[in-house]
Structure formats: C-alpha cells, structure tokens
Amino acid sequence: MAACAIRRGLLSTASKYNQHKCTHRILSALDFSSGLETKRLQPKCSACGLSSFQQTRFMSSRNRPEGKILEPVGVFEALKQHGKYETGQLFLHSVFGYRGIVLFPWHARLYDRDVSPAAADSKPDSVGHGSKEVKGKMHTYYQVLIDTRDCPHISQRSQTEAVTFLANHDDSRALYAIPGLDYVSHEDILPYNSTEQVPIQHELFERFLMFNPSKNPPFTARDTLRAWQEKNHPWLELSDVHRETTENIRVTVIPFYMGMREAQNSHVYWWRYCIRLENLGNEVVQLRERHWRIFSLSGTLETVRGRGVVGKEPVLSREQPAFQYSSHVSLQAPSGHMWGTFCFERTDGSHFDVRIPPFSLESNKYDKAPPTGYPL
C-alpha cells in the first residue's frame, strides 16, 4: 500500500493529540506494496509510536523490498466531524493508502440500503427499489488528484484512470481518461499538512493549484482549476451514491452521465459507473462472476453475465479488504436502471451472491457536447 492509515472514525480527537508533546509525523509506505497488514490505515507517530487505538498488525521488515525505507510525508491533522475539507487539503486515503489533494467537493445523495428508515434525515429524498424504501441523505464527496508515485502500488486495487470522457469525434464509442483522478468520500480522508510547496506529484498539480502560505490549507485553486471545473461540471458531478451490504461484503455504486452521441441515425446515451467492493468481515473471499440486469426506458431488458470484473477476480481479505473499478454502459434511451449480483467464493469452495444496489441511469436535463480535451 502507499501510506499508513487508520480504520475509519477511530482517529483520536485533536485534544488527545495536543496532550502529547511529540510531533506526529506520517510515514509514507510508498516504497513497498504489500507490507502494510492493517485493515485500515492507522495514524502512528514515527517518533514515539503513539496510536489512537491498539494496532493489530505491523509492518514487517521481511515484507519490505531491500533498500526501501519509510519516509516522512507530513503531520496528521484532526478529522473534520462537521463541515467539509477545502480545496488544497492534503490527505491519505483511509482504504487505498495513496497520498492525494482535494480539488473541490461534491454534494451527493447517499442511498444506503443498510440504514433503517428511522435513521434517515428528517427531510430526505425517497427512492423505492423493489419492496424497500430507501432514504437518501446528503453526503460529501471530493474530486481529488492522486500522487503518481503511489499509483503503481494501488493499481491492483483501484483503477487510476477511472474518470473517463466521451471523445469529441465521430467514433461514438471512443473514450479518453485523465490519469490520477478519483472520487473520495468524506470518511475516506485522513487530513495532513506538509511544508513542501509541491507535496503531490501529478502533471496537473501546478496547473490547478498554487502555494499560498497565508492560507489554510496553503494550496489554493488557480483560475485554470475553476475554469476546468465549470467546463466539465456535467461529466464530473456525482449526484447519487448507492450502497448495500450482503454477508459482510459492501457494494457502493456511483453512476455518472457522460453525454449523448448520434450513431446510425439514433441517439446513444453513455454512462460510467464506479463500483467499490469492501470486505467488512474476517473471511477471505474472491469475486468469481458478475450478473447484471440493464433496463432501458426504450423497453429493453438486457442480461449480462461474465467472469470477474474488468478482467480480474479480486480477493478481498483483512489485509486487502477493498477493490474499486469503473465501467461503462450505453442505452438508446435517455434513462434506465441497472441492478444485479456478484458471485463470491469462500476458501472452502462454497459460493454466495452479493447484491448490487439498484441505481438509476439519468441523462442531464440540458445535454451539451462533451469536453474536447483537458485541462482547458
């Protein structure tokens, strides 16, 4: 993994850290790919070893490639329990461990099928999926840049070229991607600060952000970032997030509308969808098959079965609990629905199905031509 981190929600409060006189430095695990054996990244001081809770496993020097050492990258900050992180906030990803920086926030409706209706907000949106009414509550997600030094260490667990666009030419199926972009939930962020003026290595870092020591965080948006966000807003914004857990395997789905193309005298509407699979239990399981049902407003119902996802059959364990990928779907109608199951295999050879929460495919009300390039 690419950095040290914690199990969500267990970072101690700022006051607890302030009671300890040591400077709590973050150690980067950039130079090893499999030595971190905790289920979530955990904040542990490189000097004094203080942790907000008892660590269950530790990095072993046996797993560290020869000549590779841990390097300090910054100092942890207190988690924000309320409000949102600002543009320029440095963070470690609590699940995948990479270093990143916040570009801008999004406000999405989270439809969590694991939450009972009584636990929903007082004024939620309601969505009926099957016989169960799901309450949607507002939740913050972030568009972020991933440090390219960490990409090789997370590529087997999370795609680093997952944010795609329709190309602006005659081939309606052509896509292009911006490497090193991701969407991060508020609880995925472990904020830290750094004295480096260029703490994140990414080709867009200095084009989008500038160092301003008088600000907190000290990295502010350039005009190029604001212009890029405004131009690409319809194809970057996430509006709905769907989540459901089956037998300790949580599936999170985020659909994105990509735009419309004309093909053979008909309109073809495109979406991408990002899926994260998380093992919340202790049992080792492996994804074997996918089974999708795709309904189009035109009246068609398509069934898709296949081995694995994106050519992989990931293993989810305590050491590597999550896998994230993106894929695409097109319809000859402006809206539709998708749902299905993933088939997982246990170590004893038995199988079980994990539900994929139903989600809508909706085109934007005001359709525009997709962007022609990046960043401007």
pLDDT at res. 125: 52
Where does the pLDDT of residue 227 fall: very low under 50, low under 70, confident under 90, or very high at 90 and above?
Answer: very high
Give whichever of 26-40, 115-129, 131-145, 277-291 has the largest mean pLDDT: 277-291
Check residues 376 and 198 and name the one with the higher pLDDT.
198
pLDDT value at 37 more than 70: no
Q: How large is the average pLDDT for residues 282-294?
A: 97
For all residues of the chain together, what is the average pLDDT? Answer: 79
pLDDT value at 99 more than 50: yes
pLDDT-above-90 percentage for the chain: 60
Task: Please write the tens of the pLDDT for every residue from 329-361.
Answer: 999 999 999 999 999 999 999 999 999 999 999
pLDDT at res. 70: 66
Task: Please write the tens of the pLDDT for every residue from 312-333.
Answer: 999 999 999 999 999 999 999 9
Q: How large is the average pLDDT for residues 42-49?
A: 47
Q: For residue 218, what are the contacts with CB-CB under 8 A and spacing of at least 6?
A: 88, 193, 211, 212
Q: How large is the average pLDDT for residues 187-195?
A: 95
pLDDT at res. 67: 55
Task: Please write the tens of the pLDDT for every residue from 81-98.
Answer: 989 999 999 999 999 999
pLDDT value at 195 more than 80: yes
pLDDT at res. 55: 34
Task: Please write the tens of the pLDDT for every residue from 243-274.
Answer: 999 999 999 999 999 988 887 788 899 999 99
Task: Please write the tens of the pLDDT for every residue from 101-137.
Answer: 999 999 999 999 998 654 444 344 545 444 456 788 9
Closest CA to 33 of 56, 8, 1, 64: 1
pLDDT at res. 306: 96
pLDDT at res. 233: 86
pLDDT at res. 375: 42
pLDDT at res. 2: 41
Task: Please write the tens of the pLDDT for every residue from 129-167.
Answer: 444 567 889 999 999 999 999 999 999 999 998 898 887
Check residues 177 and 316 and name the one with the higher pLDDT.
316
